[in-house]
Amino acid sequence: MAKITFVTFDGARIEANAENGSTVMENAIRNAVPGIDAECGGACACATCHVYVDEDWTSTTGEPEAMEEDMLDFAYDVRPNSRLSCQIRVSDDLDGLVVHVPERQA
């Protein structure tokens, strides 16, 4: 299990306990994190679960794969630390992960 902190655009912090094997997006939905729409339900077919991975965590979460990079082309205000939260799988290594929610989704 890992603790994930979601930081909303207005600076509110929402902490969630996430089961290993789940995705960051699934935990955002379970915890009603504002700004995570997840319209495709985690199929990597939209960009409405876009987050910014905190700089301290980018090496641990890794780089997006090709399909995710293609979907990020549709996201709002993409940055080097942009990821789709449906593509970040929770593990013990992510305990303490911090992600920031963009101003809006695509």
Q: Where are the domains of the chain?
A: 2-100
* Long-range own/partner contacts, residues 73-80 (CB < 8 A, 24 or more apart): 73/47, 74/46, 74/47, 74/106, 75/47, 75/50, 75/102, 75/105, 75/106, 76/47, 76/50, 76/102, 76/103, 76/104, 76/105, 76/106, 77/102, 77/103, 78/50, 79/52
Class of domain 2-100: alpha beta
The per-residue pLDDT for range 68-90, each reduced to its tens digit, is 999 999 999 999 999 999 999 99
Identify the segments of the chain with pLDDT beneath 70.
Answer: none
Q: Which amino acid is at 96?
A: G
User: What per-residue confidence (pLDDT) applies to 87?
Assistant: 98
Per-residue pLDDT at 106: 77
Give the pLDDT score at 49.
98
